[in-house]
Amino acid sequence: MYCYHCGKKRTDDAVYCSQCGRLLAMDEETTTAAIDNQTVVLSETAVAIETNYERELALQPSVPSIVRRRSAKRSVRTWLMPIILALITAGSVFSYYIYQSGINDKVLKLQTEAKAQALAGKYAEAAALLKEASMARPGFAAVQKDAEVVDHVIQLSQSAAAAGKQLEEQSLTEAEETLDQLKNELRGHTEPIYAKVKDQLRGCRAQLELMKLTDELSDLNTVDELEAKLKVANHLEGDEASALREQILAKIVAISLKDAEALLKTKNYSEALEITSKGLEIASGNEQLAALEKKINKAQTDYEKTEQQRLEHAMQQAAAEDLKNQTAAVEVVKIDSKLDEAGNLTITGELKNAATRPIYSISVQFIVHDAAGKEVGKGTAVASPDYVDPGGKLSFTSTLDGVHVENTTVVVDHATWYLD
């Protein structure tokens, strides 16, 4: 059998545990009943002795009365002594039980107080209480185990304090190593007493992340990089974390504004809107980004409207040019005519390529009128050179025989050409 208080193995007839001193199989009422039973047995023994004594007196011959009185006194002493001894034994046992119970109660009380102090983070006070309890019950395994746990927690708490000191001194690498060691030490410990140290670890870890982010912020120059760091900062708590988040958001807004404005100047509206849209997704409700997005949208609308008008004008112009190329590519610059003595009229003309494209194989048809406007002749002439670029000059010469009319007028009535 084992003690149900400390687990120490005991003998079946043991009344108190040799390890912790607690009463084993009986409580106070049971002990009292045992003492009463022992007294009854002793009383029955005394009665039996007295009965035997009286039987012996009855068998003896008569003696003088004084002798009988002396014998009676001895008889009383004989049966009274066992009763007295039984009472003394029972009293001693009960007194020892009360004494041991008092020590046990004191140890349990100290242990309970130590637990409360440890859970409150007062580890030194808890250790002192457990030391006092151990001195009262040196072999009490439960107290020794609690003392070991409290000592371990004290060491871990000191490590957390050391990490905090390293953070204050800006020794981030050393602090991170200390916190990693502390995390490994805490792994697997789910007891409530470790809760305070875990809180210290979380606080120091958050402070470390905050300081690392702050140091890295100056080297981040893209929205994607800043967004990644913002996600980390969002899991941190405290005023410093809030200030860091505001700083990251401000930098995201500044970069977004700068990049979008640059794209706006080059009329790259789509990419500019992508930047402002992402910036507003991160920095929701930012007035500067919202205003720039509105400005870009208006500029894009105006540009598209202007482009549409330009395209329409270009189409109209192209249509006009095409019409001109098709119908008025050859422009007459000047025409001269000279009548010789034989009545032959020599006509020379200067032409121009008025088209927007080169032309070739150009020929003209002309009509000759007299001073009264009457037609007196007509003819066809091939212009040269055969191929002329836009704006280029060309000429033709032709002779009409038998005109014999002075003051004639030559008009180019029709021209033909091919567009390149």
In this predicted model, what pLDDT tens digit does every residue of 249-299 receive, in sequence order?
999 999 999 999 999 999 999 999 999 999 999 998 899 999 999 999 999
Q: Which amino acid is at 214?
A: T
- Is a pLDDT exceeding 80 seen at residue 362? yes
Q: Is the dihedral of CA 92, 98, 104, 106 positive or negative?
A: negative
Each residue's pLDDT tens digit, 18-68: 666 566 544 334 433 333 443 333 333 333 334 443 443 343 444 444 445
Residue 103 has what pLDDT? 66
Determine which helix (DSSP H) or strand (DSSP E) holds 155, and give its type and residue range: helix 141-168
d(CA 360, CA 419): 7
Model pLDDT, residue 50? 40
DSSP character string of 82-113: HHHHHHHHHHHHHHHHHHHHHHHHHHHHHHHH
| Three-state secondary structure call for residue 396 | strand
pLDDT digits (tens, 9 = 90+) for 148-166: 888 888 988 888 889 888 8
pLDDT above 90: percentage of residues in the chain: 30
More confident residue, 92 or 176: 176
Looking at per-residue pLDDT, the higher value among 265 and 12 belongs to 265
- Which pLDDT band holds residue 102 (cuts at 50, 70, 90)? low
Q: How confident is the model at residue 99, as a pLDDT?
A: 53
The single-letter DSSP state of residue 398 is E
- From residue 299, give the alpha-carbon distance in Å to each of 255, 267, 312: 21, 8, 20
Q: Residue ranges of the alpha helices (H) in 187-238?
A: 195-217, 223-233
**Which runs of consecutive H residues, i.e. helices, occur in 239-364?**
239-265, 269-282, 287-327
Q: Which residue has the tokens 């025989």?
A: 401
What tens digit of pLDDT does each residue of 202-257 get? 888 888 888 888 888 888 889 998 888 888 888 888 888 888 889 899 999 999 99
CATH topology of domain 328-419: Immunoglobulin-like (2.60.40)
Q: List, for residues 363-410, the tens digit of each pLDDT value.
A: 999 999 998 889 999 999 999 999 999 999 999 999 998 888 888 899
Q: What is the CA 10 to chain-centroid distance, rounded?
A: 58
pLDDT of residue 185: 86
Domain boundaries, the chain: 28-120, 140-217, 223-300, 328-419
Examine the pLDDT at 132 and tell me if it is beyond 70: yes
DSSP category for residue 234: T
Over 60: is that where the pLDDT of 183 sits? yes
Q: Where are the beta strands (DSSP E) in 39-193?
A: none
DSSP 385: S
What pLDDT score does 358 carry?
A: 95
Please write the tens of the pLDDT for every residue from 298-353: 999 999 999 899 999 989 988 888 888 888 999 999 999 999 888 899 999 999 99
The per-residue pLDDT for 41 is 33
pLDDT, residue 347, reads 92
Q: How many CB atoms lie within 10 A of CB 402?
A: 11
Residues near 115 by Cβ (< 8 Å), separated by ≥ 6? 126, 146, 193
Residue 77's pLDDT is what? 64
Q: How high is the pLDDT of residue 29? A: 40
Residue 172's pLDDT band, with cuts at 50, 70 and 90, is: confident
**SS3 (DSSP) at 347:** strand
- Residue matched to tokens 């190329």: 325
Return d(Cα 255, Cα 248) in angstroms, integer: 11
Helices and strands (H and E) in the chain: how many: 10, 7
Closest C-alpha to 239, from 207, 204, 285: 207
Structure confidence at residue 62 (pLDDT): 43
Task: Please state, as a whole number, how many other Cβ atoms lie within 10 Å of the Cβ of residue 195.
Answer: 14
| Contacts for 272 with CB less than 8 Å, ≥ 6 apart | 259, 260, 261, 263, 264, 296
The larger pLDDT score, comparing residue 185 to residue 359, is at: 359
